[in-house]
Amino acid sequence: MVRQHVNPLSRIHQLARPLPPLIELFADPSLPLHLDIGSARGRFLLAMAPLAPERNHLGLEIRRTLVEAAEDDRRRDGLRNLRFLYGNANVNLPDWLGLLPAGQLELVTLQFPDPWFKLRHRKRRVLQPALLLAIAAALAPGRSLFLQSDVEALIAPMRQLVEASGAFEAAGPEACGPDHNPLPVATEREGQVLAGGLPVHRSLYRRSSAPLPSLAALEAHLEPITSGTDNPLDAEAD
C-alpha cells in the first residue's frame, strides 16, 4: 500500500485555479452537492454517483494524471452527476465554496489523506483551519462532514481541529464507527486496509448552528510544533 505523496506547498500547486461554477459541471446544477476532497483515482465516486443520483458529486484531486484517468472513466460511464477537477484544496476551495448557492453543499468527505506525520510538516496536511472554516460556512446545519484514515496519528489532529471550531457535532456510534462506514461505498484504500486486517478510524460530524470562530482563534488550537514527530513511521521522511 504505497502512497504517492505530493507536496501541496510546492510552487506549482500554489497557483490559483478558479474552479468552474456548477452550471458548467453538471447536467442538473440544482442538485445537492457531495464534495470529495482528495478523490485520487476516482473509483469511490465512480461507484457512488450511480448509487446517489439525487446528488451531484465532485472530486478534487491534486494529482493531475489521476484526475485525467478518472474523467476518462466518468465519460465512458456516461455519469452526468459526477465530475473530477484538478486543484489544491487549500488554494482553490475556500473562494469556490463561498460562491455556492446557500444550502447546496450537502456532504463533504475527506478520506485517507496523505499522512504528513511530522509536526513541522503540518502545513502540508489537507485539513487546514481556513479550509475547515470555508467548509463549515458552506454547510447548512445538519449537513455532514465525514473523515476517515488508517493513521490514528493523522485523524486525531483533524478531529481536534473540527471539534475546536465549535461548528460541528459528532454523530453517535450508531451512525459511524470503526466497524461502521456510513457511506455505501468503500474507497480503494479502505478496502486494502481492511483486507490487511488493520483498523480504519472514522468520524462523522453534523454542522451545528453555532457561529464560526475567527481564523486566528482556530489556529490557536493547533498543536505546538516541536522537534519530534507525531508518528515514528515518519522518522525518516523528508
Tell me which residues are annotated as active site: 114
What is the rounded CA–CA span in Å between residue 183 and residue 73?
21
The residues, any chain, with a CB within 8 Å of residue 60's CB and separated by 6 or more, are: 19, 35, 36, 37, 38, 39, 84, 85, 86, 87, 89, 92, 93
Query: 3-state class of 229 per DSSP?
Result: strand
Query: 3-state class of 108 per DSSP?
Result: strand
Is the Cα torsion angle 22, 189, 173, 125 positive or negative in sign? negative
Nearest to 126 by CA among 139, 112, 113: 113
Cβ–Cβ < 8 Å for 48, 34: yes
